[in-house]
Amino acid sequence: MGIQFSNGLVIEQIGTNVLLIIGNQQLFQFLWHKFAIDFGHARFMSDASDNTSFKIQMTNIEPHVLQNDLQCLDPNDLNQYV
Protein backbone atom coordinates (compact mmCIF):
# COMPACT_ATOMS: atom_id res chain seq x y z
CA MET A 1 0.00 0.00 0.00
CA GLY A 2 1.39 3.36 -0.98
CA ILE A 3 1.19 6.88 0.40
CA GLN A 4 -1.38 9.20 -1.17
CA PHE A 5 0.61 12.38 -1.98
CA SER A 6 -2.13 14.15 -3.94
CA ASN A 7 -5.44 13.24 -5.57
CA GLY A 8 -3.61 11.82 -8.58
CA LEU A 9 -0.33 10.55 -7.11
CA VAL A 10 0.40 7.55 -4.92
CA ILE A 11 3.99 6.78 -3.89
CA GLU A 12 4.96 3.20 -3.13
CA GLN A 13 8.34 2.06 -1.76
CA ILE A 14 9.42 -1.33 -3.12
CA GLY A 15 12.81 -2.25 -1.65
CA THR A 16 15.32 0.24 -3.04
CA ASN A 17 12.86 1.34 -5.72
CA VAL A 18 10.06 3.88 -5.63
CA LEU A 19 6.95 3.56 -7.77
CA LEU A 20 4.96 6.69 -8.57
CA ILE A 21 1.42 5.65 -9.49
CA ILE A 22 -0.16 8.49 -11.41
CA GLY A 23 -3.83 9.12 -12.12
CA ASN A 24 -3.71 10.41 -15.69
CA GLN A 25 -1.48 11.12 -18.67
CA GLN A 26 -1.22 14.89 -18.14
CA LEU A 27 0.03 14.46 -14.58
CA PHE A 28 2.38 11.69 -15.76
CA GLN A 29 3.92 14.01 -18.36
CA PHE A 30 4.27 16.84 -15.85
CA LEU A 31 5.92 14.60 -13.24
CA TRP A 32 8.15 12.91 -15.82
CA HIS A 33 9.51 16.31 -16.87
CA LYS A 34 9.77 17.54 -13.28
CA PHE A 35 11.77 14.53 -12.03
CA ALA A 36 13.83 13.91 -15.20
CA ILE A 37 14.67 17.46 -16.26
CA ASP A 38 14.09 19.82 -13.33
CA PHE A 39 15.40 17.48 -10.63
CA GLY A 40 17.94 15.70 -12.88
CA HIS A 41 16.85 12.13 -12.10
CA ALA A 42 16.40 10.76 -15.65
CA ARG A 43 19.06 8.10 -15.11
CA PHE A 44 17.05 6.65 -12.20
CA MET A 45 13.71 6.62 -14.03
CA SER A 46 11.81 4.19 -16.21
CA ASP A 47 8.28 4.14 -17.55
CA ALA A 48 6.48 1.31 -15.74
CA SER A 49 3.00 2.14 -17.05
CA ASP A 50 0.62 -0.67 -17.90
CA ASN A 51 -2.87 -0.92 -19.38
CA THR A 52 -4.54 0.32 -16.20
CA SER A 53 -2.35 3.15 -14.90
CA PHE A 54 0.56 5.47 -15.50
CA LYS A 55 3.66 4.70 -13.44
CA ILE A 56 7.20 5.98 -13.04
CA GLN A 57 9.68 3.64 -11.42
CA MET A 58 12.70 5.21 -9.78
CA THR A 59 15.54 2.79 -9.15
CA ASN A 60 18.36 3.20 -6.62
CA ILE A 61 17.43 6.73 -5.62
CA GLU A 62 18.15 7.64 -2.02
CA PRO A 63 14.96 8.16 0.01
CA HIS A 64 16.12 11.54 1.32
CA VAL A 65 16.63 12.77 -2.26
CA LEU A 66 13.06 11.91 -3.19
CA GLN A 67 11.79 13.49 0.04
CA ASN A 68 13.62 16.72 -0.80
CA ASP A 69 12.11 16.70 -4.29
CA LEU A 70 8.61 16.12 -2.98
CA GLN A 71 8.98 19.12 -0.67
CA CYS A 72 9.28 21.23 -3.83
CA LEU A 73 5.92 19.94 -5.08
CA ASP A 74 2.71 21.30 -3.59
CA PRO A 75 0.05 18.56 -3.61
CA ASN A 76 -2.59 21.22 -4.26
CA ASP A 77 -0.76 22.26 -7.45
CA LEU A 78 -0.74 18.64 -8.63
CA ASN A 79 -4.49 18.41 -8.10
CA GLN A 80 -5.04 20.73 -11.08
CA TYR A 81 -4.12 17.76 -13.31
CA VAL A 82 -6.79 15.52 -11.79
d(CA 68, CA 72): 7
**pLDDT tens per residue, range 18-27:** 999 999 999 9
> Which one is predicted more confidently, 27 or 2?
27
pLDDT at 25: 94
pTM surpassing 0.85? yes
Determine the structural domain holding residue 12 and report its residue range.
Answer: 3-81
Domain count, the chain: 1
Q: Which of 26, 19, 33, 39 is nearest to 78 (CA)?
A: 26
